[in-house]
Structure 1
Amino acid sequence: MRPTPPARPVFIKKRACTWRVNLSHLKRNYAPAECRRNRIEMNATQAKTKAELPKGFTVRGAALNDVEPALTLFNTWSRSVIGQDEITDVDAIRNEWVSPGFDPAQDIRLVFSPEGQMVGYIEAWTTAKPPVHPWIWGRVHPNYNGLGIGTWLLNWAEERVCKALDELPADLRFAPRVGIFRQSEASKKLFEDMGFQYIRSSYDMQIELDETPLAPQWSGEITLKTCDPEKDMRAVYLAQRESFRDHFGYVEEPLEEGFERFKHFLTGEAFDPSLWFLAMDGDEIAGISLCRLQSYSDPNLGYVNILGVRRAWRKRGVGLALLRHSFGELYERGKRKVGLGVDASNLTGALRLYEKAGMHVHQAFDLYEKTIRSGREISVESLSE
């Protein structure tokens, strides 16, 4: 899945979030009052970023038949930046576009050249509740850089996410976030020119499995089972929810809304409950490892989508045992590489755990945010919270 804030499991966004007025142009008069005030108060540097699309270029919202052209655009961009495709699973994109609370006609903008080629894309996500950190993600075709397309799209997305201000108490801080591959200097410059500031990094980590992985070592009271979707789904979600309460950026959301999005994102086309591993202490879930047979970007790479251990079972080797078990199962199914994503400054020591298991950094992503309204921060920033 496309990079999401390190704070969020992929299903929140998007990715997540996760980290999405049926008008081709969102008119400023329709933006919430707080957002309009922010526009009025823009400093001179930000004011210079206002842009118009080049003559002959058109813009509209997305429909499901745009998924494959969008995938082509994403990978054309990523090959120019990181030398490889960033997503090969077209069903993952389609699943995002039909996720609860997201409307591609409203929450995506596509830019087309005069010849009809899709050359720009952006999505604006406010589905995570409360939406204090909306997620913005976009791409511009490398042959069309420098024409103001990225600036126009980011301006649109910023105004679009400002609709979420109407949902929030007036004292809460509101700061949209964006994430980029570290190699993308053009994206970094655009974000900084638009008033976004770097706050954190995350890593895509991998391990090469040249031989049978080390067997897991379980403490005496812990047993392992695979997920039974008919019986375990809600308990798995609650275990994930508790595990991520100590994750930077975590925001407690309404239980039922979160559960519906969890099921949508993690039980789509690639769902395989035999790769959902539950570490059990009696009848209680101590930890989870929810895997995919292939990653979103590489069909030859197995992927640990979510790895989490509940507070009461930490420091007992549960996380390492789950990880090694996951490596072993994916190896048995023919995978010789396994990947996962992690916050580079993870509050619970996950990065050290993955390094101990033999993983290394494959790609780095940088997270930026822009404070549109100052106020009380309700997302997790330290373990004391």
Structure 2
Amino acid sequence: MNAILEKQNILPLPAEYFARGGSIDDYKIVFDLLNLYSMHLNGRVDLNDPELLRLDWLNDGFNPETDLHLVFAADGTLVAFVECWTTQQPPVHPWIYGCVHPDHWGKGIGGHIVTWAEDHARLALDKCAPDLRVAPRSGVEAHNENGNALFEGLGWKHIRSFYRMVADLDSAPEESAVPDGIVIRPYDPETELEEVYRTFVDTFNDHFGFIEQPFEKGLAEYKHNFVEEPGYTPEMWFVAMDGDRMAGICICRRENADDAESGWVSELGVRREWRKRGLGHALLKHAFAAFYADGKKRAGLGVDASSLTGALKLYENAGMRVQRQFNMYEKEFRSGKELAVESL
């Protein structure tokens, strides 16, 4: 039997604070805290629309009453929150995310919420086969020195970094040449959602951390997170077609979640058969042109800084630059077989 890491005790809160589980109705106070935290750290909000947070908590398998932990000051002000996601099947990498109000830093609250989430994430051990490696993951911005030190002090390891990239759209972008035989067009929301999802799975099977989900579960989650969200704009979903075969996708939001003047590329992927022909570059430039025509001043996306498919170089060649860096941390609970993609 694979060794299991000794349990970390939940670090206590100072006496003047109290904690409770969450509810779906807490999304607005958490939204306000997230934006206050982001303004302090980055000089900008994290989300423009609280509905995005509520929608996130409505994902199947996430229960705010048990998977969300809120910390309050004596006067009832929310000062910290943390989410622990074990919705993946199997949940070999529970995802932990939270923050602390800047006025309450240095009081041990960060240690409390991370260790609470660690304790909650241990439930995943019984939901995963005994030969599987189980290790919760979390992320913190690279310039948040206190946040990085917190994770490292609790025995977490920095395993990866991710970039948020941006391109200025000061003038009409030059569209890239499309490979022979390929047509880029908006997708048909009436008939093509399932094929878009299948293309997403095929292309992201080559991305670090990806774990393919049972088809019906994965499709339902994709629909919930991309179609049922308030920023869904089907005319900004582009597909690359080679005859009747979908070679690639570029799934976009008309408006970035934290910047109304920027478009956002949510997913960009090309199936293996059509790679190394410039199709990814052509899809990206097509999206830039659509954003510019829509009056946007910028375009943004997220990328693995050590992308297995060379996506970072593609985006740099398209004129994008790094805006922010996020560090991913991991704490191994149990050694064993790794299910997530780590290399090609």
TM-score range, shorter chain: over 0.9
What does residue 161 of structure 1 align with?
Answer: 121
Residues 263-289 of structure 1: per-residue CA shift (max 9 Å, x gap): 100011111110000000111110000
What does residue 79 of structure 2 align with?
Answer: 119
Shift of 1:377: 1.1
Give the alignment partner of residue 54 of structure 1, picking from 9, 14, 24: 14
What does residue 358 of structure 1 align with?
Answer: 319
Paired with 1:254 and 1:347, the residues of 2 have a C-alpha distance of: 23
What does residue 3 of structure 1 align with?
Answer: none
Instruction: Kindly indicate whether residue 51 of structure 2 is the aligned counterpart of residue 84 of structure 1.
Output: no
1:363 maps to amino acid: R
What does residue 206 of structure 1 align with?
Answer: 166
Report if aligned partners of 1:107, 1:124 keep a CA contact under 8 Å in 2: yes
Residues 225-270 of structure 1: per-residue CA shift (max 9 Å, x gap): 2122220000000000000011011112211111110110001111
What does residue 247 of structure 2 align with?
Answer: 286
Aligned CA RMSD, in angstroms, stands at 1.5
Instruction: Kindly indicate whether residue 227 of structure 2 is the aligned counterpart of residue 260 of structure 1.
Output: no
Shift of 1:65: 2.4
What does residue 238 of structure 2 align with?
Answer: 277
What does residue 209 of structure 2 align with?
Answer: 249
What does residue 63 of structure 2 align with?
Answer: 103
Instruction: Kindly indicate whether residue 149 of structure 2 is the aligned counterpart of residue 182 of structure 1.
Output: no
Residue ranges of structure 1 left out of the alignment (5+ in a row) = 1-33
Paired with 2:94 and 2:63, the residues of 1 have a C-alpha distance of: 15
What does residue 141 of structure 1 align with?
Answer: 101
What does residue 340 of structure 1 align with?
Answer: 301
What does residue 272 of structure 2 align with?
Answer: 311
Instruction: Kindly indicate whether residue 273 of structure 2 is the aligned counterpart of residue 329 of structure 1.
Output: no
**The residue matched to 1:286 in structure 2 has which SS?**
strand
Report if aligned partners of 2:19, 2:70 keep a CA contact under 8 Å in 1: yes
Report if aligned partners of 2:5, 2:332 keep a CA contact under 8 Å in 1: no
Report if aligned partners of 1:206, 1:360 keep a CA contact under 8 Å in 2: yes
Report if aligned partners of 2:256, 2:263 keep a CA contact under 8 Å in 1: yes
Between 160-169 and 299-308, report the one with greater CA deviation.
160-169
Between 108-117 and 70-79, report the one with greater CA deviation.
70-79
**The residue matched to 2:334 in structure 1 has which SS?**
coil
Residues 205-226 of structure 1: per-residue CA shift (max 9 Å, x gap): 0000110001231112101221
**The residue matched to 1:92 in structure 2 has which SS?**
helix
Paired with 2:122 and 2:103, the residues of 1 have a C-alpha distance of: 30
Q: List structure 1 runs of 4+ shifted beyond 4 angstroms.
A: none
Residues 58-103 of structure 1: per-residue CA shift (max 9 Å, x gap): 2112223211211111111112222221222211111101111111
What does residue 5 of structure 2 align with?
Answer: 38
What does residue 28 of structure 1 align with?
Answer: none
Between 184-193 and 54-63, report the one with greater CA deviation.
54-63
Instruction: Kindly indicate whether residue 112 of structure 2 is the aligned counterpart of residue 152 of structure 1.
Output: yes
Report if aligned partners of 1:82, 1:183 keep a CA contact under 8 Å in 2: no
Paired with 1:125 and 1:98, the residues of 2 have a C-alpha distance of: 12
**The residue matched to 1:328 in structure 2 has which SS?**
helix
Report if aligned partners of 1:176, 1:371 keep a CA contact under 8 Å in 2: yes
**The residue matched to 1:315 in structure 2 has which SS?**
coil
Between 342-351 and 374-383, report the one with greater CA deviation.
374-383
What does residue 170 of structure 1 align with?
Answer: 130
Instruction: Kindly indicate whether residue 334 of structure 2 is the aligned counterpart of residue 367 of structure 1.
Output: no
Give the alignment partner of residue 129 of structure 1, picking from 85, 89, 102: 89
Shift of 1:148: 1.4
Paired with 1:108 and 1:366, the residues of 2 have a C-alpha distance of: 22
Report if aligned partners of 2:14, 2:108 keep a CA contact under 8 Å in 1: yes
Report if aligned partners of 1:204, 1:341 keep a CA contact under 8 Å in 2: yes
Report the identity percentage: 44
2:320 maps to amino acid: M
Residue ranges of structure 2 left out of the alignment (5+ in a row) = none
Task: Report the count of equivalent residues.
Answer: 342
Give the alignment partner of residue 263 of structure 2, picking from 302, 305, 325: 302
What does residue 184 of structure 2 align with?
Answer: 224
Paired with 1:165 and 1:256, the residues of 2 have a C-alpha distance of: 24
